[in-house]
């Protein structure tokens, strides 16, 4: 391991048992390193294994395969020098702020007087002077997370791992805290030599990190890296930052679709998944995109802003538009296809026709449901076999959810019907056999 590296993962894999006892591969063959002086942001969809990876690095869980090292030594159990901040604050409610912060030091056997002194200094540094005697519930979310961070930093960690440390906070509070940490880091007021942040928020990653690493899903693998060489503090509205956000955006949305199309991912893995979005949102975004100021083509973050929704909330919708071939997504841009433009101008029944046709040609799950219904003399089938099919690679609740989406889309496109009383799928009425 090079002198310059703080942490190194080679070929790390991890499986968990799903509800039915079968192992599910969450992380596969992950190579990753954190060098001295670096802030790295790890991005990936929900469930891609980001927290799992962080917990392996923190020594909270062991990997099944591969090597995980901290300063050249195998990680086995929490290492002195590696501290973690959790999204949920994870404070002890019955302990005061001061006691919560001192906890990590206690575990290291540091005598009470020194503990108190260091905790005081850290509370001061984190803007919590005077709150040592308070209980966590007496503090706001932002202050509680400051306590969580103070508790991690008070041990003078060499490596700081932050799992969505800002995402439970409102935007402004998150931003302030983020900036405070960057300031401590950039002015060398903390001895920490490397920071890894897990985030859902592309802007946050671009504003903070020296390098962004994107984890793919099912199983999680590192699939892209983006280096950021802009000095901090960075201006959120600068051309450079907006451009980077676009790039990362594009890497995150389009890849999943391309992977399916190119067959890079085994079909059974992703084929039947559907993005978590509904018809009205798909159409809402399509309409927004079709007319001024966008006129068919937009920068994804701008479109999100215009829609007054977060990127995160809109990812699945963009994915759906791409999946249905109504839009084309390239890097951070989205543009309507000729079909998408026609769709935008069409009245409802024509829209439904196009939607149905796209379902049958582009969405394997919908096509499969339709095909099997056509093979039935009665034109109806219970939903269970389809849920079971999905459960082969999805968790039970995810499988149900995917079928619900397929039902909603299919009903709108008049590809099949669903009886909510009996839970049966059937061919649309006029087509019944
Ligand atoms: N202890 C566990 N036992 C079984 N399954 C687990 C366990 N921990 C995580 N998983 C599963 O592993 C997958 C990855 O989980 P993980 O929490 O690492 O994802 P994540 O990328 O952090 O997601 P999010 O962005 O939602 O926080 C999920 O499907 C999760 O349900
Ligand atoms: Mg997580």
pLDDT tens-digit readout, 146-156: 999 999 999 99
Rg (CA), the chain: 25
My answer on whether 241 and 371 are in the same domain is: no
pLDDT in tens, 306-320: 999 887 789 889 989
The answer, yes or no, to whether any atom of ligand 1 lies below 6 A from the CB of 81, is no
**392 domain-assigned:** yes
pLDDT (mean) for 47-67: 93
Which of 228, 254, 280 is the last residue in one of the domains?
254
Same domain for 248 and 351, yes or no, is no
CA 414 to ligand 2 centroid distance, Å: 37
Residue whose C-alpha is closest to residue 177's, from 148, 145, 155, 206? 145
In this predicted structure, what is the pLDDT of residue 356? 92
Q: Evaluate if residue 349 carries a pLDDT over 60.
A: yes
CB 415 within 8 A of CB 366: yes
- DSSP run (H or E) holding 165: none
Please, what is the average pLDDT of the chain?
A: 88
> Which residue lies with its CA nearest to atom 10 of ligand 1?
16
Confidence of residue 431 (pLDDT cuts 50, 70, 90): low
Total tally of structural domains belonging to the chain: 2
34 lies in the same domain as 144: yes
Average the pLDDT over 368-389 and give the result. Answer: 89
Tell me if 79 is assigned to some domain: yes
What pLDDT score was predicted for residue 271?
56
Please report the sign of the dihedral spanned by the C-alpha atoms of residue 404, residue 410, residue 411, residue 415.
negative
Helix 338-345 to helix 348-362 angle, to the nearest 10 degrees?
150
- Kindly state if the Cβ of 52 falls inside 6 Å of ligand 1: yes
Identify whether 182 is preceded by a cis peptide bond (ω within 30 of 0): no
379-383 average pLDDT score: 94
45 & 168 share domain: yes
Do 205 and 89 fall into the same domain? yes
Which atom of ligand 1 is closest in space to residue 45's alpha carbon? 25
What is the arithmetic mean of pLDDT over 323-333?
A: 87
Residue 103 shares a structural domain with residue 218: yes
pLDDT at residue 45 above 90?
Answer: no
| Pair (247, 389) in one structural domain | no
Position 266 in a domain: no
Percentage of the residues of the chain whose pLDDT score is greater than 90:
59
Please tell me the pTM assigned to this model.
Answer: 0.66
Percent of the chain surpassing pLDDT 70: 94
Measured from the Cβ of residue 69, the count of other Cβ atoms closer than 10 Å reads 18
Decide which of 237, 254, 271 is a domain's last residue.
Answer: 254
Residue 219: the pLDDT is 77
In tens, the pLDDT along 262-308 reads 444 443 334 577 899 999 999 999 999 999 899 999 998 899 999 99
Atom number of ligand 1 nearest to Cα 27: 14
pLDDT at 40 over 80: yes
The verdict on 365 and 243 lying in the same domain is no
Q: Is 16 in the pocket of ligand 1 (CB under 6 A)?
A: yes
Residue 286 is assigned to a structural domain of this protein: no
Residues 243 and 353 both lie in one domain: no
Residue 327: inside a domain = no
Flag whether 209 is in a domain: yes
Give the domain-ending residue among 226, 254, 282.
254
Domain that holds residue 402: 346-431
Residue 58 and residue 383: Cα distance in Å, rounded? 43
Task: Tell me the C-alpha distance between 242 and 205, whole Å.
Answer: 12
Q: Is the CB of 46 under 6 A from ligand 1?
A: yes
**332 within a domain of the structure (yes/no):** no
Among protein residues, the one with the nearest Cα to ligand 1's atom 7 is 16
Cα distances from 319 to residues 63, 312, 386, 432, in angstroms, run 32, 11, 23, 32
Could you tell me if 21 and 139 lie in one domain? Answer: yes
What is d(CA 222, CA 204) in angstroms, rounded to the nearest whole number? 19
pLDDT at 338 over 80: yes
In terms of domains, do 226 and 359 share one?
no
Taking the centre of ligand 1 as the mean of its atom positions, its distance from the CA of residue 235, in whole angstroms, is 33
Q: Is the CB of 50 under 6 A from ligand 1?
A: yes
pLDDT at residue 264, as a whole number:
45
Task: Give mean pLDDT, residues 401-419.
Answer: 95
CATH number of the domain enclosing 151: 3.40.50.300
Does 167 or 278 have the greater pLDDT score?
A: 278
Q: How many A from CA of 281 to the centre of ligand 2?
A: 26
Region 408-428: what's the mean pLDDT? 94
In tens, the pLDDT along 109-133 reads 899 999 999 999 999 999 999 999 9
Judged against a pLDDT cut of 60, whether residue 257 lies above it is answered with no
Q: Are residues 230 and 372 in the same domain?
A: no
User: What is the pLDDT, as a whole number, of residue 168?
Assistant: 75
Q: Does residue 381 lie in a domain region?
A: yes
CA of 49 to the centre of ligand 2 (A): 7
């Amino acid at each position: 391991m090079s002198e310059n590296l703080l942490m190194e993962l080679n070929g790390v894999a991890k499986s968990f048992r799903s509800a039915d006892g079968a192992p599910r591969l969450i992380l596969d063959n992950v190579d990753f390193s954190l060098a001295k002086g670096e802030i790295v942001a790890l991005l990936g969809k929900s469930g891609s294994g980001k927290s799992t990876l962080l917990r392996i690095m923190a020594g909270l869980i062991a990997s099944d395969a591969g090597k995980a090292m901290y300063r050249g030594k195998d990680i086995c159990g929490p290492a002195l020098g590696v501290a973690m901040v959790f999204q949920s604050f994870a404070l002890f409610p019955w302990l005061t702020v001061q006691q919560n912060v001192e906890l990590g030091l206690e575990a290291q056997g540091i005598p009470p007087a020194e503990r108190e002194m260091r905790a005081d200094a850290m509370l001061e540094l984190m803007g919590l002077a005077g709150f040592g005697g308070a209980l966590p519930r007496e503090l706001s979310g932002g202050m509680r997370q400051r306590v969580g961070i103070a508790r991690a930093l008070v041990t003078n960690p060499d490596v700081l791992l932050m799992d969505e440390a800002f995402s439970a906070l409102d935007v402004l509070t998150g931003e302030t805290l983020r900036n405070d940490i960057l300031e401590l880091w950039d002015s060398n007021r903390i001895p920490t030599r490397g920071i890894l942040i897990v985030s859902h928020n592309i802007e946050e990653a671009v504003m903070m990190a020296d390098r962004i690493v994107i984890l793919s899903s099912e199983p999680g693998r590192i699939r892209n890296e983006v280096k950021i060489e802009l000095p901090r503090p960075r201006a959120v509205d600068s051309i450079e930052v907006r451009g980077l956000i676009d790039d990362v955006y594009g890497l995150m949305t389009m890849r999943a679709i391309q992977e399916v199309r190119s067959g890079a991912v085994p079909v059974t893995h992703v084929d039947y998944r559907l993005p978590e979005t509904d018809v009205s949102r798909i159409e809402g975004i399509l309409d927004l995109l079709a007319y001024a100021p966008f006129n068919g083509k937009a920068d994804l973050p701008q479109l999100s802003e215009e829609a007054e929704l977060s990127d995160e909330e809109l990812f699945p919708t963009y994915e759906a538009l791409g999946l249905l071939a109504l839009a084309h997504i390239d890097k951070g841009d989205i543009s309507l296809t000729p079909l998408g433009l026609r769709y935008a101008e069409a009245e409802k029944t024509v829209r439904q026709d196009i939607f149905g046709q796209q379902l049958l040609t582009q969405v394997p799950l919908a096509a499969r449901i339709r095909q099997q219904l056509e093979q039935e003399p009665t034109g109806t089938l219970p939903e269970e076999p389809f849920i079971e099919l999905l459960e082969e690679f999805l968790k039970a609740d995810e499988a149900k959810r995917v079928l619900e989406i397929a039902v909603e889309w299919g009903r709108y496109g008049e590809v099949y019907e669903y009886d909510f009383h009996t839970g049966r799928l059937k061919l649309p009425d006029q087509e019944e056999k």
